Amino acid sequence: MGKISYLQTLLVAVAAFAFVACSDDKNGSDLPDGGVTEKDCSNTKSVTGGAGSFKITFTAVGDWEAVSSDDSWLTIVPADGGKGSNKITVSFTQNTAATSRRGTVAIRVSGYRDAVLCTLTQSGAGSGSDTAVNEWIEEYMKEAYLWNEAIDQVALDNTVSFKEYLKSILDGVAAQKDASGRPVNYDDGYWENGVRQEYYSYIELNEQSRSTRAGETYNDTGILNVISGYLQEEPYIGGLVIMGVAPGSSADEAGLKRGHMVTEVDGVKYTKNLSADVKQNMFLKLVQGNNVRIVANEVSGGDNGDWVLTPLPEMTLSSFSYVDPAIYKQDVVDIDGRKVAYLLYMGFSRAYDEDLFEAFDRFKAEGAEELVLDLRYNGGGEVLSSTLLATLIAGQEYKGQVYVKTTYNASRTAAGQTGALYKIGESVVSGSDSSYSLIAEALNHSLGLKRIYVICSVNTASASELIINGLRGMGIEVRLIGTQTQGKNVGMEGYVNRKVGNLYYDFLPITFYSENAVGFKDYSDGFTPDVIFDDANYYPGDFGTLDDGLFSRAASWIRTGEKPGAASSLRKSRSMVVKQRYRADFPQRHPVGSLVLLDEQ
C-alpha cells in the first residue's frame, strides 16, 4: 500500500486530441452506413446515479430523428432535425435502483443504418454495500481536503456507491461560494468556457486506476494520434495523418514519423466520400491491428505551391509489447551557428531520470547554448523528477534555491504541517520524509542556463507547469510558445492500492497548493504563452524540425533575438482542413499530476 500526493491531470474528452470512437448498431443491417458522417462523441460514457445531461454534435446527410433504447430515463432534445451539423442534448433521470443501467443514443437517417452515437452507463444508487469505503472517504476528506471546512455543511448519504459518495461531497462543497462568487473548491478541476469539465479529486477501484508513470508496457502498433483530413479538394489529397509514434514500437521500426500521411489501410483507400465509420475502422487497424498493410507518404509543398505526396514502400504493422519511454526525442540542431538542444519529454518519471542525464550529457558535449523543452503532451509526473530536470537546467549557481513549496488547508497548517520544500540540487526534501540522491547528482550533468524555451498546450499540466513556475520563481527566463497550459496548481495526497474490505482502491483528493520561491501559485487558469500559436489546423511536421510550426517559432526567436509573431517562423506553416481527430490513449498513457511518493511499500 502506498500513500502518494500528486497533481492529477484531467483527461478531458474535449481536448485538442480527443479520441472519437463511434459505431453503428444492427438496426437496418441490410442498409448502408453513412447517415452520420461526423460525430463528436466517445463510444461509451459513464455517469453517476444522479440526474444530468450532456451534448453531442454530429453531421447528418439528410433529415433525421433521434432514437434512444429506453425513453423512460433517456430524453433527447431536439428529437429530429435536418441535413448538416446538429447538436442534441441527452438528459438522464436519477437512477434509484441499486444496480447500474445502460442505454444507447442513436440517429436514424432514412435509407441508412442507425448510427449509435453513444452507449451510456449510469451507476446505481447503491444498497449500502460501500458504507465502509464511504466512511473512510469522509474521514480522510474532513482531515486533508484543501477545502475541508466546507464539508461540514454537506448533507451526506453513505448508502450510495463510493463514487457517488465522493461526488456528493465535491458537489456539496462546490455549492458553497467564496467571496468572489466562485465555488469554494474552484481549483479542484479543469474548467472550459465557465463549466467544470471534471473534478481532479477521484476514487477508483485499483484495477481501473489511471496510469501514473511512464515506462508502462503497451501492446499496440505505437501510432498514438491521428488526424483525418485533406490538403486540397481538386484533385483530392487527403488521408490519415500521423501525429505521434512511440519509440521502440512497430510503427517506429517501420520508419513512420509525425507528418506521414496514410492513404491506404489493408487495401482500403482514403477517398473524399469515405464514411466516418470506415475512417474509424482504418484508424483502429492502424493502432491496434496485426499484419496491417499500409501505404504512407512523405508530404511536401502546400499553400504557395502544389501539394506533393511521395509514397513510401508498403509497410506492415503489427501490435507487440514495448516499454513506453519518457523521452521521445533528443537532438542538438544548429540555428545560425548557435547550438540548440531539443527535448521532447512526455512524463516525469524516476524510472527515466538517468536517461535525462544521458541527454544532458550529450547536450553539454555538443556545446548546447539554448534549450527548447517540448512539453506539449506532458501531463506531469513525479515532483522529484521535476526537481531533477529543473536542476539539470539551472545548475550549480542555483543550488539550494527553493523550486517548489506545498501548502495545506488551514487546520493542518495550524497544527504545524508547514509543507514540503523541494530545492535545486538538494536530495533531502525538507518538511517531508522524501529524499532522492539523483537530484544532487544532477548538478554534475547540468547546463546552467539562464533562459529556456518551452513548447506548451492545454495538455501541459502539473509537474510540467512546475517547471515553468518553479524556474521563473528563481529568476530564470521561461519563454512559452504554443497555447494556454492547463492550470493545475493543486496537488493530491492519497492512497494507491488501499484495501478496504475485499477490494483495493486508489483515492486521491486535492490536498495542497504548489507555489514557487516567491510564493506565486495563482495559475489555475494556466500560463499564457509569449507566442500564441495553435497548430491544430496546420499540417504537422516532425518534432524538433523546422516543419513543426511550434519548434520553428522557437527557432525564429533564437535566431533573431526578437519575439516572433504568431505568423513568424523560419518555415511557413501549411494549412490543412481537419475533419476528425482520433486519439489512442495519448497523452494519458504518460504520467499525470505531480506525483510525490511518501511512504510507498
Looking at residue 63, its pLDDT comes to 94
The total number of structural domains that make up the chain: 3
Looking at residue 595, its pLDDT comes to 54
Residue with cell 495538455: 459
Whole-angstrom Cα distance, residue 84 to residue 90? 19
Same domain flag for 285 and 338: no
Looking at residue 498, its pLDDT comes to 86
From 485, 480, 471, select the one nearest 518 (Cα to Cα): 471
Whole-angstrom Cα distance, residue 26 to residue 46? 22
- Domain-embedded: residue 601: no
Averaged pLDDT, 3-29: 34
Yes or no: say if 90 and 54 are a contact pair by the CB < 8 Å rule. yes
- Domain-embedded: residue 51: yes
- Domain-embedded: residue 291: yes
Q: What are phi and psi of 383, to 5 degrees?
A: -65, -35
Preceding omega of 183 cis (within 30 degrees of 0):
no
Whole-angstrom Cα distance, residue 386 to residue 408? 20
- Domain-embedded: residue 247: yes
Same domain flag for 272 and 389: no
First to last CA, the chain: 6
pLDDT confidence of 601, banded at 50, 70, 90?
very low
Looking at residue 207, its pLDDT comes to 59
Q: Computed over its alpha carbons, how large is the radius of gyration of the chain?
A: 25
Give the contacts of 153 (CB within 8 A, at least 6 positions apart).
172, 176
C-alpha cell at 28: 437496418
Whole-angstrom Cα distance, residue 383 to residue 360? 19
| Domain final residue, candidates 307, 338, 369 | 307
Q: What is the CATH number of the domain that holds 267?
A: 2.30.42.10
Indicate if the pLDDT at residue 26 is higher than 90: no
Whole-angstrom Cα distance, residue 419 to residue 417? 6
pLDDT confidence of 468, banded at 50, 70, 90?
very high
Same domain flag for 286 and 371: no
From 275, 282, 269, 271, select the one nearest 233 (Cα to Cα): 271
- Domain-embedded: residue 50: yes
pLDDT tens digits for 124-163? 766 677 899 999 999 999 999 999 999 999 999 888 889 9
From 434, 407, 405, 435, select the one nearest 421 (Cα to Cα): 405
Same domain flag for 236 and 353: no
Whole-angstrom Cα distance, residue 559 to residue 565? 14
Whole-angstrom Cα distance, residue 143 to residue 550? 44
pLDDT tens digits for 391-450? 999 999 999 999 999 999 999 999 999 899 999 999 999 988 889 999 999 999 999 999
Looking at residue 30, its pLDDT comes to 65
Whole-angstrom Cα distance, residue 550 to residue 454? 10
| Domain final residue, candidates 59, 93, 122 | 122
Same domain flag for 340 and 285: no
Same domain flag for 347 and 462: yes
Cβ atoms < 10 Å from Cβ of 260: 25
| % of residues, the chain, pLDDT over 90 | 61
Same domain flag for 243 and 360: no
| Domain final residue, candidates 307, 341, 370 | 307
> Which range is least confidently modeled, 13-17, 201-205, 344-348, 524-528?
13-17
From 11, 42, 210, 33, select the one nearest 582 (Cα to Cα): 42
Residue with cell 526537481: 387
Same domain flag for 249 and 297: yes
Yes or no: say if 369 and 340 are a contact pair by the CB < 8 Å rule. yes
- Domain-embedded: residue 202: no
Same domain flag for 460 and 369: yes
In the chain, what are the helix, strand and coil shares in percent, each to the nearest 5?
A: 20, 35, 45
Instruction: Name the DSSP class of 306.
Output: -
Averaged pLDDT, 360-377: 98
Q: SS3 of 508, please?
A: strand
Same domain flag for 231 and 336: no
Yes or no: say if 544 and 374 are a contact pair by the CB < 8 Å rule. yes
- Domain-embedded: residue 436: no
Q: Could you give the C-alpha distances from 247 to 296, 376, 456, 588, in angstroms and in order? A: 18, 17, 21, 16
- Domain-embedded: residue 429: no
Sign of CA dihedral 159, 164, 165, 169: negative
Same domain flag for 259 and 339: no
Same domain flag for 481 and 572: yes
Indicate if the pLDDT at residue 239 is higher than 80: yes
Residue with cell 521500426: 253
Say what the pTM is.
Answer: 0.77
What residue spans of 395-478 are helical by DSSP H? 410-414, 437-441, 463-473
Q: What is the CATH number of the domain that holds 473?
A: 3.90.226.10
What residue spans of 145-264 are helical by DSSP H? 162-174, 250-254
Indicate if the pLDDT at residue 590 is higher than 90: no
Q: What is the CATH number of the domain that holds 53?
A: 2.60.40.10
Boundaries of domain holding 451: 327-400+443-488+524-593
